[in-house]
Amino acid sequence: MKNIDSKGHVTGKSIYLDDISIIKGTRFGVVFDSPIAHGTITSVDYSKALALPGVVTILTHEDIPGGNQIGGIIPDEPLFASTEVHFVGQPIALIIAESDQIAFKARKRIEIEISKKSVIVNPREAKQNDQLIFPPRTFELGDMKNSWKDCAHIFEGQADSNGQEHLYIETQGAYAIPMENGHIRISSSTQGPTSVQKTTANILGIGMNKIEVDVVRLGGGFGGKEDQATPWAVMAALGVFILNSPVKVVLSRLDDMRMTGKRHPYSSDYKIGLSNDLKIMAYETTFHQNAGASADLSPAVLERTLFHGTNSYFIPNVKMTAYSCKTNLPPNTAFRGFGGPQGMFVIESALSHAAEELGISKHELQKNNLLKNGDEFPYGQIADGVELNSIWQNMESKFHIETVEKEIQKFNSNHSNVKKGFSLMPISFGISFTKTPMNQARALVHIYTDGSVGVSTGAVEMGQGVNTKMLQIAAQTFSIDPKHIKLESTNTTRVANTSPSAASATADLNGKALEKACNALMKRLKSCAANHLNVSLVDVTLKNGLIYTNGNKTDLTWDQLVTMAFLKRICLTENGHYATPTIHFDMKKEKGHPFSYHVYGLALTEVTLDCVRGTYDFDAVKIVHDFGKTMNPSVDFGQIEGGLIQGMGWMTMEDLRYNDQGQLLSNTLSTYKIPDIYSVPKDVIIEPLETEGNEMAILKSKAVGEPPLMYGIGAYFAIENAVRAFNPNFNSTFDAPFTHEKVLMGLYGSIDFE
């Protein structure tokens, strides 16, 4: 099935937040935010702003009827700052006006005085000052202390990866509308409708049942709208609460870039020990996560860094400690991969370091240490269904690693100012929210009396194609034409208490709930048909909208059967509930079985370096990926391509910069560059691994949202490989992204230009 949104998207008919028709009397909100990264507000003068014609009101923390608190995991974040500000971009007030142009004008007239305090932007400095968001966590396996003496080779170093701006095409926004009796309806561009509902209720001091959140679709989320879509929706709702008129808050691109958190930068130390036969015997790391000014999702992100700290390798002795460091930056948040990529970057750096020192090819080291069935992860889960060895074999037989390596060596010996490089990047990504209780979902299915069907789930469509997958599940289970099925918007009144659409788990969780609801309805309809046709239930089948008994077509159609069931007063509505079985995790012991399964894969990245300019082009990325049994190849291939390019952008060109006063320097689209058509690899080849699929995955089709992002890490090490071909003395700094400037430094860093 094609993505059901494709026509709407290309004809401009798909409805996003900004396409919702505006009700007469709607007011527009613009956020006034802190210009200073840390300090005490000594005075704010709103009078000149309020005097501007068209300004309706300015809301501050004093207007909040409930609790001034939006922290999702730890209650440490106010909606509006009251006396202290902790980052540039922290919301202080909402200016509400008759148009957003007027509100923007009014913002410039606000006069604020802040008495400055010291600013910390570096996570290691924060740790030295005991500025931690929560106590550190440690995952351990084996006998760390005694393992070093068994190692023939030990290497130590530092590996840093930078943050990443989400740059969803649709910026953050919400539109709130007053309903009767003090109820409020919010349309929000959020991955987490229930978070918006819950936080709004808390801020307003009313029940969640008085807040309805509706989501049609998002113009991208990537994690940036898992928690951080909430404040703007809450502000709009607060405006409705105070004014009793509709209020719309949509961030401008520059406001969005300044005010919202990003992927967490990490600065990490590693120590890796290898035996004589090149088995990794010991691995110790310390991760410093740059959390920003409050917790947001940092505790969960930190946890996933630890879960993926050993990537696709089995290591018998491991100790990984992670610190969530409080800095004066916007609170960093979920971003595709959710801490996993940051953890994987460190072990890949350690392996590159070891291979370089030992004078061997890194891929030999990688292949020699791949995880196998029965191996224990540092968090206690025993690996099963591991596909890494067959994936590696597939890579060798289809894409010939040795030949690629030889051809590159040959090219490099024939060219002095152009060098090629390559890398292999295996991935193992755990599927499930790491917080076990979040792994549940519901779906509501109505069959209408004419046989048409309406489906609601907790899944949010953000371009990832989840609605297409939901439609496929309903159409397949009922065996009717998808044309008869409508996917409803995601709405907290129809499907309550939802987990955010995140963790790559949306199609699995909501799809399984939907499958259950459809199966229950099918059972009722079949039993109705059996009664009518005077046969037993097991003899009835439904196929392509027709009813069969013992494989023989009857005169009865789906539509007729539905009408008949209705007249017999059989319930044509069902609510399916799914909770992932078998998963658990004990945070005291830091052991358990948190993931329902893992997604595996391997990417071979080839790059050509212009050693005069320091620029590079990616010739090809060849991927062997474990889809299970993909239920929609075009949607899933799209996810792989998008994830890969997004990961490559993070590793190569996306250069997020704050100065030491916490001001965002890369604050526009001219100073923060993401991959475009000119920087994507010339060739991306995706080879699906043939497998039986996994029962825990929806229709045995494995989760595909986040895992491919980590293929992009291969880009960093391919560049590193090429730089080394030019400058054998290159000392890898493992400091992503590998921008053109850093490539030049790597090529000529040892030359004294003076």
CA torsion through residues 127, 293, 736, 227, sign = positive
Among 59, 347, 502, 562, binds ligand MOS (CB under 6 A): 502
Q: How far is the CB of 195 from ligand MOS (least distance, A)?
A: 11
d(CA 72, CA 195): 8
* Pairing mode, strands 173-178 and 247-250: antiparallel
Q: Which of residues 12-71 bind ligand LUZ (CB under 6 A)?
A: none
Which of these ranges, 78-86, 296-304, 463-471, 479-487, lies near ligand LUZ under the rule CB under 6 A?
296-304
- Say if CB 311 and CB 377 are below 8 A apart: no
Contacting ligand MOS within 225-254 (CB under 6 A)? 226
Alpha-carbon dihedral 719, 722, 727, 730, rounded to 10 degrees: 40
- Minimum CB separation from ligand LUZ for residue 715, in Å? 21
Q: Which of 362, 347, 406, 423 is nearest to 722 (CA)?
A: 423
681: buried, middle or exposed (CB in 10 Å: 19+, 13-18, 0-12)? buried
**Distant-in-sequence, close-in-space partners of 11: CB < 8 Å, separation ≥ 6:** none
Using DSSP's 3-state secondary structure scheme, residue 394 falls into: helix
Residue 62 DSSP class: G
Q: Per rule CB under 6 A, is residue 338 in the interface with ligand LUZ? A: yes
Q: Select 160 or 226, whichever has its Cβ closest to ligand LUZ.
A: 226
> Closest CB to ligand MOS belongs to which residue?
223
Site string for ligand LUZ, 315-334 (x = CB under 6 A): -------------------x
Site for ligand LUZ in 404-433 (CB under 6 A): 433
Residue 191 interacts with, from ligand MOS, ligand LUZ, none (CB under 5-8 Å by kind): ligand MOS
| Rounded least distance, CB 133 to ligand MOS, Å | 18
Q: Among ligand MOS, ligand LUZ, none, what does residue 392 contact (CB within 5–8 Å per kind)?
A: none
- Choose the one of ligand LUZ, ligand MOS, none that binds residue 248, judging by a C-beta under 5 to 8 angstroms depending on kind: none
Gyration radius from the chain CA atoms: 27
Q: What is the dihedral of CA 96, 100, 104, 110, to 10 degrees?
A: -10
Residue among 335 and 616 whose Cβ is closer to ligand MOS:
335
164 interacts with ligand MOS by CB under 6 A: no
Q: Pick the binder of ligand MOS from 168, 287, 323, 335 (CB under 6 A).
A: 335
Cβ contacts of residue 12 below 8 Å, gap of 6+?
A: none
* Binding of residue 304 to ligand LUZ (CB under 6 A): yes
What is the three-class DSSP state of 264? coil
Q: Closest CB to ligand MOS among 226 and 508?
A: 226
Q: Does 223 bind ligand MOS (CB under 6 A)?
A: yes
The residue whose two tokens read 């679709």 is 217
Q: What is the 3-state secondary structure (H, E, C) of 193-232?
A: HHHHHHHHHHHHCCCHHHEEEEECCCCCCCCCCCCCCHHH
Give the shortest CB-304-to-ligand LUZ separation in angstroms. 6
Burial of 609 by CB count in 10 Å (0-12 exposed, 13-18 middle, 19+ buried)? buried
User: Between 334 and 525, whose beta carbon lies closer to ligand MOS?
Assistant: 334
Residue whose CB is less far from ligand LUZ, 155 or 595: 595
Q: Which is closer to ligand MOS, CB of 164 or CB of 366?
A: 164
Told to check if 198 binds ligand LUZ by CB under 6 A, we report no
| Distances, alpha carbon 412 to alpha carbons 562, 609, 652, in Å | 69, 10, 22
Question: Is 338 a residue that touches ligand MOS (CB under 6 A)?
Answer: yes
Per rule CB under 6 A, is residue 585 in the interface with ligand LUZ?
Answer: no
The item of ligand LUZ, ligand MOS, none sharing an interface with residue 300, based on CB under 5 to 8 Å by kind, is: ligand LUZ
Name every residue whose Cβ is closer than 8 Å to that of residue 386 and which is 6 or more positions away in sequence: 371, 372, 373, 375, 428, 598, 600
Site for ligand LUZ in 489-528 (CB under 6 A): 502-503
726 binds ligand MOS per the rule CB under 6 A: no
DSSP 8-state code for residue 698: G
Nearer to ligand LUZ, 298 or 394 (CB): 298
> Closer to ligand LUZ at the Cβ: 87 or 338?
338
Q: Which segment (39-47, 76-84, 174-182, 297-305) binds ligand LUZ by CB under 6 A?
A: 297-305
- The one catalytic residue among 690, 706, 741, 754: 706
To the query of whether residue 706 is one of the catalytic residues in this protein, the response is yes
Q: How many CB atoms lie within 10 A of CB 294?
A: 23
In the list ligand LUZ, ligand MOS, none, the entry touching 170 (Cβ below 5 to 8 angstroms by class) is none
**In sequence order, what DSSP letters do the residues of 461-478 get, joined into one string?**
-SSS-HHHHHHHHHHHHH
> What amino acid positions are annotated as catalytic residues?
706
Give the residues lining the site for ligand LUZ (CB under 6 A).
223, 226, 297, 300, 304, 334, 338, 433-434, 502-503, 706
